Amino acid sequence: GENVEQHPSTLSVQEGDSAVIKCTYSDSASNYFPWYKQELGKRPQLIIDIRSNVGEKKDQRIAVTLNKTAKHFSLHITETQPEDSAVYFCAASTGSNYKLTFGKGTLLTVNP
Protein backbone atom coordinates (compact mmCIF):
# COMPACT_ATOMS: atom_id res chain seq x y z
CA GLY A 1 0.00 0.00 0.00
CA GLU A 2 0.85 3.67 -0.11
CA ASN A 3 3.44 5.07 2.31
CA VAL A 4 3.91 8.80 2.87
CA GLU A 5 7.00 10.18 4.61
CA GLN A 6 6.98 13.77 5.86
CA HIS A 7 9.88 15.97 6.96
CA PRO A 8 10.70 17.74 9.15
CA SER A 9 8.64 16.69 12.15
CA THR A 10 9.09 20.11 13.74
CA LEU A 11 9.92 23.45 12.17
CA SER A 12 10.46 26.76 13.91
CA VAL A 13 10.74 29.99 11.93
CA GLN A 14 10.71 33.69 12.60
CA GLU A 15 7.71 35.70 11.53
CA GLY A 16 8.13 36.80 7.92
CA ASP A 17 10.44 33.92 7.01
CA SER A 18 9.49 31.12 4.60
CA ALA A 19 8.71 27.56 5.66
CA VAL A 20 9.08 24.44 3.53
CA ILE A 21 7.69 20.99 4.36
CA LYS A 22 8.54 17.99 2.19
CA CYS A 23 6.78 14.68 1.57
CA THR A 24 7.58 11.58 -0.43
CA TYR A 25 5.15 8.88 -1.50
CA SER A 26 5.61 5.33 -2.67
CA ASP A 27 2.64 4.47 -4.90
CA SER A 28 3.06 5.71 -8.46
CA ALA A 29 -0.72 5.38 -8.91
CA SER A 30 -1.34 8.24 -6.45
CA ASN A 31 -2.63 11.26 -8.29
CA TYR A 32 -4.04 13.58 -5.65
CA PHE A 33 -1.96 15.33 -2.97
CA PRO A 34 -3.71 17.53 -0.41
CA TRP A 35 -2.22 19.46 2.49
CA TYR A 36 -4.14 19.86 5.72
CA LYS A 37 -3.66 22.27 8.60
CA GLN A 38 -4.72 21.12 12.04
CA GLU A 39 -4.75 23.51 14.95
CA LEU A 40 -4.69 22.11 18.47
CA GLY A 41 -7.96 20.38 19.27
CA LYS A 42 -9.51 21.19 15.90
CA ARG A 43 -10.39 19.32 12.73
CA PRO A 44 -7.96 19.01 9.81
CA GLN A 45 -8.71 21.67 7.21
CA LEU A 46 -7.65 21.52 3.59
CA ILE A 47 -5.37 24.43 2.72
CA ILE A 48 -4.22 23.48 -0.77
CA ASP A 49 -4.13 20.45 -3.02
CA ILE A 50 -2.51 19.42 -6.27
CA ARG A 51 -3.25 16.77 -8.85
CA SER A 52 -0.68 14.77 -10.77
CA ASN A 53 -1.27 16.61 -14.05
CA VAL A 54 0.02 19.85 -12.49
CA GLY A 55 3.55 20.63 -11.32
CA GLU A 56 2.85 23.64 -9.13
CA LYS A 57 -0.09 25.43 -7.59
CA LYS A 58 -0.18 28.67 -5.66
CA ASP A 59 -2.76 30.34 -3.43
CA GLN A 60 -1.62 33.65 -1.97
CA ARG A 61 1.19 32.84 0.50
CA ILE A 62 0.90 29.08 0.06
CA ALA A 63 2.29 27.01 -2.81
CA VAL A 64 2.68 23.31 -3.48
CA THR A 65 5.07 21.67 -5.92
CA LEU A 66 4.94 18.12 -7.22
CA ASN A 67 7.69 16.03 -8.80
CA LYS A 68 6.04 12.86 -10.09
CA THR A 69 9.31 11.33 -11.27
CA ALA A 70 10.90 11.60 -7.84
CA LYS A 71 7.57 11.00 -6.08
CA HIS A 72 7.83 13.97 -3.81
CA PHE A 73 5.81 17.08 -3.15
CA SER A 74 6.39 20.12 -0.99
CA LEU A 75 4.46 22.84 0.78
CA HIS A 76 5.89 26.35 0.73
CA ILE A 77 4.59 29.09 3.01
CA THR A 78 5.98 32.57 2.47
CA GLU A 79 5.82 35.59 4.79
CA THR A 80 4.85 33.38 7.72
CA GLN A 81 2.61 34.77 10.45
CA PRO A 82 2.02 33.57 14.03
CA GLU A 83 -1.42 32.31 13.00
CA ASP A 84 0.29 29.87 10.62
CA SER A 85 1.46 27.95 13.70
CA ALA A 86 -0.19 24.51 13.57
CA VAL A 87 0.45 20.91 12.57
CA TYR A 88 0.55 20.42 8.81
CA PHE A 89 -0.16 17.06 7.20
CA CYS A 90 0.51 15.97 3.66
CA ALA A 91 -1.48 13.14 2.14
CA ALA A 92 -1.69 11.09 -1.03
CA SER A 93 -4.54 9.29 -2.71
CA THR A 94 -5.66 7.75 -5.96
CA GLY A 95 -8.86 9.82 -5.71
CA SER A 96 -9.64 13.13 -4.03
CA ASN A 97 -11.46 11.73 -1.06
CA TYR A 98 -10.70 8.04 -1.23
CA LYS A 99 -8.35 6.43 1.27
CA LEU A 100 -6.10 9.37 2.00
CA THR A 101 -2.71 8.21 3.31
CA PHE A 102 -1.28 10.86 5.61
CA GLY A 103 2.23 11.73 6.65
CA LYS A 104 3.01 11.97 10.36
CA GLY A 105 2.75 15.73 10.40
CA THR A 106 4.98 18.76 10.87
CA LEU A 107 4.56 21.05 13.86
CA LEU A 108 5.21 24.55 12.54
CA THR A 109 5.90 27.27 15.06
CA VAL A 110 6.13 30.86 13.86
CA ASN A 111 7.83 33.05 16.42
CA PRO A 112 6.79 36.72 16.56
Partner 1 sequence: ETGVTQSPTHLIKTRGQQVTLRCSSQSGHNTVSWYQQALGQGPQFIFQYYREEENGRGNFPPRFSGLQFPNYSSELNVNALELDDSALYLCASSSGVSNTEAFFGQGTRLTVV
Chain residues binding partner 1 by CB under 8 A are 1, 4, 6, 34, 36, 42-46, 49, 89, 91, 95-105
Residue placing its CB nearer to partner 1 in the complex, 42 or 61: 42
Q: Which run of H or E residues covers position 108?
A: strand 106-111
Determine contact, residues 25/66, Cβ cutoff 8 Å. no
* Nearest distance from C-beta of residue 7 to partner 1, angstroms: 13
Question: How many other CB atoms are there within 10 angstroms of residue 81's CB atom?
Answer: 12
Residue placing its CB nearer to partner 1 in the complex, 34 or 74: 34
End-to-end CA distance of the chain: 41
Q: Is the peptide bond before 8 cis (omega within 30 degrees of 0)?
A: yes
Residue placing its CB nearer to partner 1 in the complex, 77 or 88: 88
* Nearest distance from C-beta of residue 19 to partner 1, angstroms: 18
